[in-house]
Amino acid sequence: MKTFAYRTATGLADGLEPGAVFLAGGTNLVDLMKLGVATPDVLVDVNKLPMSEVGELPGGGVRIGSSVRNSDLAADQRVRTAYPVLSQALLAGASGQLRNMATTGGNLLQRTRCRYFMDATMPCNKHRPGSGCPARDGDHRNLAILGGSPACVATHPSDMAVALAALDAVVQLDGPTGQRSVPVTELYRLPGDTPDRDTVLEHGELITAVDLPALPFATRSAYRKARDRASYAFAVGSVAAAIDIQDGLVSDVRLAFGAVAPKPWRAFAAEAALRGQPATREHFMAAADVELRDARPLRDNAYKLPLIRNLTVSVLEGLAGEVTR
Amino acid sequence: MTSTSARAVGSPLARLEGPAKVSGAARYAAEYPQDHLAYGWIVASPVARGRLDAVLTDPAEEDVLAVLWHGNAPELEKPDDPELAVLQSDEIRYRGQPLALVIATSIEAARRAAQAVQLEITAEDHDVELRADHPDRYTPETVVPDAPATSDTGDVDAALAGAPVTIDVVYETPALHNNPMEPHATIARWDGQDLILYDSNQHPSGIAETVGAIFGLPAERVHVVTEHVGGGFGSKGSARPNAVLAALGSLVTGRPVQIALPRQAMFSMVGHRAPTVQRIRVGATRDGILTAIDHQTCTQSSRLFEFVESASVVTREVYPVPNLRTGHQVVRLDMPTPRWMRAPGEAPGMVGLECALDELAAELGVDPVELRVRNSPENPRYVECLRSGAERFGWSERDRRTDGEWLIGFGMAGATYPAQAMPSTARVRALGNDEYEVAIAAADLGTGARTILTQIAADELGVPVEQIHIRIGNSTLPQASVAGGSSGSASWGWAVTGACRELRAAGGSTEEATFDTTALVQQQKEGRHASGAHFAEVRVSTVTGEVRVSRLFGMFDGGRILNPRTARSQFLGGMIMGMGMALHEEGVLDPAQGTWVNHDLAEYHIPTHADVEWIDAAWLDAPESDLNPMGSKGIGEIGIVGSPAAILNAIWHATGVRIRSLPARLDKLLPALPSPR
**pLDDT (tens digit per residue) in A60-77:** 999 999 999 999 999 999
Rounded CA gap, B675 and A281, in Å?
Answer: 12
Chain A: residue nearest B611 by CA?
A230
pLDDT at A168: 98
Sheet holding B194-199, edge to edge: B64-68, B98-104, B38-44, B257-260, B185-191, B194-199, B222-225
Q: Considering just the CA atoms, what is the radius of gyration of chain B in Å?
A: 26
Q: Are A239 and A224 in contact (CB under 8 A)?
A: yes
Q: Does any CB of chain B come closer than 8 Å to the CB of residue A223? A: no
Chain B CB contacts of A229 under 8 Å are: 583-584, 605, 607-608, 610-611
H/E element, B92: strand B91-92
| Residues of chain B above pLDDT 70, percent | 99
What is the separation of C-alpha A139 from the centre of its chain, rounded to a whole number of angstroms? 22
Rounded CA gap, B332 and B304, in Å?
Answer: 9
Residues A79-125: tens digit of each pLDDT = 999 999 999 999 999 999 999 999 999 999 999 999 999 999 999 99
Distance from CA of B285 to the nearest CA of A (A): 40
Confidence of residue B569 (pLDDT cuts 50, 70, 90): very high
Closest to B529 (Cα-Cα) out of B561, B557, B554: B557
One-letter amino acid at B180 equals P
| pLDDT for residue B182 is more than 80 | yes
Flag if B546 and A227 touch (Cβ within 8 Å): yes
Beta bridge partners of A56: A62
Task: Name the phi and psi angles at B391, rounded to 5.
Answer: -70, -45
Q: Does any CB of chain B come closer than 8 Å to the CB of residue A282? A: no
pTM over 0.95: yes
Residues B608-648: tens digit of each pLDDT = 999 999 999 999 989 999 999 999 999 999 999 999 999 99
Chain A: residue nearest B543 by CA?
A310
Rounded CA gap, B342 and B337, in Å?
Answer: 16
Distance from CA of B310 to the nearest CA of A (A): 29
Chain B CB contacts of A232 under 8 Å are: 608, 610
Q: Are A114 and A30 in contact (CB under 8 A)?
A: no
| pLDDT for residue A26 is more than 80 | yes
Q: Which of B670, B675, B677 best probes binding to A when mutated, by most A CB atoms within 10 angstroms?
A: B670
Q: Are B629 and B566 in contact (CB under 8 A)?
A: no
Q: How many CA atoms lie within 13 A of B191 on its CB side?
A: 12
pLDDT at B4: 47
Distance from CA of B295 to the nearest CA of A (A): 30
The C-alpha angle B181, B182, B188, rounded to 5 degrees, equals: 170
Residues B435-487: tens digit of each pLDDT = 999 999 999 999 999 999 999 999 999 999 999 999 999 999 999 999 999 99
Residues B132-176: tens digit of each pLDDT = 999 999 999 999 999 999 999 999 999 999 999 999 999 999 999
Confidence of residue A15 (pLDDT cuts 50, 70, 90): confident
Confidence of residue B508 (pLDDT cuts 50, 70, 90): confident
Confidence of residue A13 (pLDDT cuts 50, 70, 90): low
pLDDT at B314: 98
Q: Mean pLDDT check: name the lowest of B217-221, B335-339, B408-412, B507-511.
A: B507-511
One-letter amino acid at B428 equals V
| pLDDT for residue A325 is more than 60 | no
| pLDDT for residue B213 is more than 60 | yes
pLDDT at B2: 46
Chain A: residue nearest B580 by CA?
A229
pLDDT at B525: 79
pLDDT at A324: 55
pLDDT at B160: 98
Q: Does any CB of chain B come closer than 8 Å to the CB of residue A136? A: no
Instruction: Determine whether B512 is an active site residue.
Output: no
Secondary structure string (H, E, C) spanning A98-155: HHHHCEHHHHHCCCCCCCCCCCCCCCCCCCCCCCCCCCCCCCCCCCCCCCCECCECCC
Ordered by where they begin, the domains of chain B are 18-27+420-522 (3.30.365.10), 32-124+180-232+236-267 (3.30.365.10), 379-418+527-677 (3.30.365.10)
Q: Does any CB of chain B come closer than 8 Å to the CB of residue A118? A: yes
Rounded CA gap, B339 and B308, in Å?
Answer: 9
Complex prediction ipTM: 0.97
Distance from CA of A145 to the nearest CA of B (A): 14
Residues B342-376: tens digit of each pLDDT = 999 999 999 999 999 999 999 999 999 999 999 99
Q: Does any CB of chain A come closer than 8 Å to the CB of residue B58? A: no
Residues B489-498: tens digit of each pLDDT = 999 999 999 9
Chain B CB contacts of A301 under 8 Å are: 667
Closest to B318 (Cα-Cα) out of B99, B33, B533: B533
| pLDDT for residue B29 is more than 50 | yes
Q: Which of B544, B576, B612, B647 best probes binding to A when mutated, by most A CB atoms within 10 angstroms?
A: B544
Chain A CB contacts of B597 under 8 Å are: 115-116, 119, 122, 138-139
Chain B CB contacts of A313 under 8 Å are: 543, 676
Rounded CA gap, B664 and B641, in Å?
Answer: 17
Rounded CA gap, B480 and B422, in Å?
Answer: 8
Q: Does any CB of chain A come closer than 8 Å to the CB of residue B610? A: yes
H/E element, B116: helix B107-116
H/E element, A227: strand A221-227
pLDDT at B3: 46
Flag if A310 and B115 touch (Cβ within 8 Å): no
Chain B: residue nearest A302 by CA?
B667
Average the pLDDT over B309-329 and give the result.
Answer: 98
Average the pLDDT over B518-544 and give the result.
Answer: 94
Flag if A229 and B590 touch (Cβ within 8 Å): no
Average pLDDT over chain B, rounded to an integer = 97
Residues B242-270: tens digit of each pLDDT = 999 999 999 999 999 999 999 999 999 99
Average the pLDDT over A41-57 and give the result.
Answer: 96
Q: Does any CB of chain B come closer than 8 Å to the CB of residue A227? A: yes
Flag if A229 and B115 touch (Cβ within 8 Å): no
pLDDT at A22: 96
The C-alpha angle A273, A274, A278, rounded to 5 degrees, equals: 135
Chain A: residue nearest B669 by CA?
A303
